[in-house]
């Protein structure tokens, strides 16, 4: 069974933004060069149905499908993250990480988790998480996960709408970028800043 240093559960804007920053950090920092990332996504992001008119750097009227495709291409350009077209059904915490089970009966292993599945529900079995109502809507069927600076518990992080932030492209993307920096800090003990060169 392939073991990853980080499994990102959800390949929407926040999960892909995290993967992008992490991939750049891993590529450019010797202390991170052996880190591995997997992204698990079954194509269910709400962003796929959106059109963006107020996202910085994104052409007005860009479809969510096109924006997600562009983010995937950016992440893939680094050759770091492994994409799995898979919906996760169960995550089991073990002594040295997590066993991740897909609905296709495949199993994966990861030391760390980044939960980026959106806010519609939490239906992945196995993990005991501090689920709470999503506070930024009157729709009480939405959920979020309690966290401190995007950390839920040891080796478990959250970003995007599941982190209880407003539903706007730059905000959810920003949570992904910030949690990526936080994860690299946990791995190295240093604050790594990713800049273009």
User: In whole angstroms, how large is the CA radius of gyration of the chain?
Assistant: 16
Q: Residue 74 is part of which domain span?
A: 3-188
User: Is the predicted pLDDT of residue 197 greater than 70, yes or no?
Assistant: no
Is residue 99 within 8 Å of 107, Cβ to Cβ?
A: yes
Residue 196 maps to a domain: no
The structure's pTM equals 0.95
- Decide if 181 contacts 21 (C-beta within 8 A): yes
Residue 63 gets which letter from DSSP?
A: E
Total count of domains within the chain = 1
Say whether pLDDT at 33 is over 80: yes
Mean pLDDT of the chain: 93
- List the CATH number of the domain containing 21: 3.50.50.60
Q: What is the pLDDT of residues 59-83, one digit of tens each?
A: 999 998 999 999 999 999 999 999 9
Residue 127 falls within a domain, yes or no? yes
For 62, the enclosing helix (H) or strand (E) is strand 62-63
Q: Are 13 and 71 in contact (CB under 8 A)?
A: yes
6 and 22 in contact (C-beta within 8 Å)? yes
> CA 195, CA 185: separation in Å to the nearest integer?
16
């Amino acid at each position: 069974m392939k073991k990853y240093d980080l499994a990102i559960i959800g390949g929407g804007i926040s999960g892909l933004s995290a993967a992008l920053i992490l991939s750049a950090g891993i590529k450019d920092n010797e202390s991170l060069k052996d880190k591995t990332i997997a992204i698990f996504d079954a194509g269910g992001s709400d962003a796929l149905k959106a059109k963006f008119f107020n996202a910085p750097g994104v052409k007005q009227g860009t479809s969510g499908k096109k924006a997600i495709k562009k983010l995937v291409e950016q992440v893939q350009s680094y050759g770091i993250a492994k994409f799995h077209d898979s919906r996760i059904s169960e995550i089991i915490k073990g002594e040295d990480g997590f066993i991740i089970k897909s609905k296709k009966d495949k199993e994966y292993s990861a030391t760390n988790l980044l939960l980026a599945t959106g806010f519609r529900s939490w239906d992945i079995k196995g993990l005991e998480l501090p689920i709470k109502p999503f506070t930024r809507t009157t729709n009480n069927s939405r959920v979020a996960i309690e966290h401190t600076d995007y950390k839920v518990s040891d080796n478990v992080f959250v970003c995007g709408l599941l982190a209880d932030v407003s539903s706007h492209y730059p905000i959810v993307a920003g949570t992904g970028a910030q949690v990526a920096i936080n994860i690299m800090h946990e791995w190295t003990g240093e604050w790594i800043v990713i800049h273009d060169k």
